[in-house]
Structure 1
């Protein structure tokens, strides 16, 4: 099983991946680590600020990692914001049976009400150099993700009033339900 976790910055994708690793024992790969490895190795001229170009650049690599893991019957959690909304188009039905996606999306109300909490938890797993959030930008990014998910049939979890404390367990239940 390949489990894809995506969404915008500060939606706790990495925390969710860590929790799923702890519950399942499945390894996870951070798309940010792959991005930075390619940048630091000089294999691309992109900079860490070139996020708008990263999905197109990383997707062919990520797609083939997914295929290889499925062909080798390996489980993998892949998390990050560089997943195209139309990712399903890259796979045949044989592959799609072994891939589950979840996108984390925060509502404008959640962002406005919990902005300081979002910032406070921004370094729970990874140390960010800058953790100040522009709420208007974050709201716009989450709206874009929600629209992309709806247009492409992506499974998403809407974070509205409070952040779900048992999110990893909810996702595992969803996976178990779909495996039946």
Structure 2
């Protein structure tokens, strides 16, 4: 089974992926690693970390789809997380392999910007993080972009009848809901 967790940056994808991986005793793969492989190793493909998530998802989709189908074909169990997926793209794989893929999307379409900036800054201080050295203005801009991205994901999930979980109001409760949804 492939457990796929996608959505906005800072919505809890990695936390869930690591918890689920440990709970199920299966590996976890971050699509961010693949994207950074293209960014730093194959820049000629035009996939890099400065693109918006939907652009990365569209540019990487054929590669990721082939990788996921290969994993399904070889009966590989894995938790996969990252921004580089969109509901309107993953639906094809889910319809083709409904017994082999479980997917959900996370976002924060209703979050208070100042509160989210403070949460990100607090988390970034606790561990090595790509936002650690960024200014408040940079983080605020990132949050605004991810709110817009969350709204797009939420709408596409509704249109494609996919699970969307919003982490705006209670982050830890949303993590628990997502874990229960994926574990069933």
Bin the TM-score by the shorter chain: 0.7 to 0.9
Pair 6,66 (structure 1): closer, same or farther in 2 beyond 3 Å: same
Per-residue deviation, 1:123: 6.8
Once the two structures are superposed, the pairs formed by residues 36-115 of structure 1 within 5 Å of their partners are: 36-42=36-42, 44-51=45-52, 52-86=54-88, 87-90=90-93, 93=96, 95-115=97-117
- Conservation of the 8 A alpha-carbon contact between 1:11 and 1:104: yes
- Which deviates more, 35-44 or 106-115? 106-115
Q: Deviations over 1:110-138 (max 9, x none)?
A: 54544301332257666205542324333
Change (3 A) 1:147 1:112: farther
Gaps of 5+ in 2: none
Deviation at 1:81, TM superposition (A): 0.9
Which runs of no fewer than 5 residues in structure 1 stay unpaired? none
Cα distance in 2 for residues equivalent to 1:83 and 1:54: 8
Higher helix fraction (1 or 2): 2
What is the rounded CA distance, in whole Å, between the counterparts of 2:104 and 2:126 in structure 1? 21
Which residue number in structure 1 is paired with residue 11 of structure 2? Answer: 11
TM-score scaled by length of structure 1: 0.82
**Which whole-Å deviations, capped at 9, do the CAs of 1:64-96 have from their partners, x for residues lacking one?**
221111121111111111112121224554x22
| Counterpart Cα distance in 1 of 2:63 and 2:101 | 16
Q: 1:103 to 1:92 in 2, by over 3 A?
A: closer
For this pair of structures, how many residues does the alignment match? 175
Q: In the superposition, relative to structure 1, how do residues 21 and 88 fare at CA in structure 2: closer, same or farther (>3 Å)?
A: same
Change (3 A) 1:175 1:39: closer
- Contact persistence 2:157–2:164 (CA under 8 A): yes
CA–CA separation in structure 2 for the residues paired with 1:113 and 1:175: 27
Give the RMSD, CA atoms, in angstroms: 2.5
Structure 2 Cα separation of the partners of residues 5 and 126 of structure 1: 22
Name the CA shift for 1:32/1:98 in 2 (closer, same or farther; >3 Å).
same
